[in-house]
Structure 1
Amino acid sequence: MDLNEVMAANLRRIRHGKKLTQEELAHRTGLSARHIGAIERAEMSATLTVLGQISEALGVEPAVLVTKSN
């Protein structure tokens, strides 16, 4: 699993755990829902800036999004 896939899985898991839609997360980050969806499907890499925006919107440290869970 590459880092994009790790982030995609973590992002989806955390977003679902917080009961947020992609649209709600997009609104909180200032990104488009299409952009959030592409990151969640590992079709697009998130820049460090975007990683920060997403982690802040979810209330988690950026490392949580890119750390492979066991």
Structure 2
Amino acid sequence: MDIRALVGRNFARIRREKGLTQEQVEERSGFSQQYLSGLERGKRNPTILSLHELAHALGVTHLDLVRPDGREDSR
């Protein structure tokens, strides 16, 4: 899977699990709703700093946004 699609899928899933709208994440993170929408659709290429800031806005770690299955590594 493309890393952009993976991050977008994980971001959208976590956002929904937290009961947040894109607009609420926009307020928390400073990233525009248009950017967040593009991220969720796998159209954005987030930087490491962006991943850190987005994860902070969601209350998770940056690793949660890049894990292939979206869960803790069980190894």
Q: Which runs of 5+ in 1 are unaligned?
A: none
Q: TM-score, normalised by structure 2?
A: 0.88
Answer 1 or 2: which has greater helix percent: 1
CA RMSD of aligned residues (A): 1.1
Q: Which runs of 4+ in 1 moved over 2 A?
A: none
Mark the structure with the bigger radius of gyration. 2
Q: TM-score, normalised by structure 1?
A: 0.94
Percent sequence identity over aligned pairs: 34
Number of residue-to-residue matches in the alignment = 70
Q: Which runs of 5+ in 2 are unaligned?
A: 71-75
Counterpart in the other structure of 2:30: 30
Structure-1 separation of matches of 2:64 and 2:6: 10
| Secondary structure of 2:69's aligned partner | coil
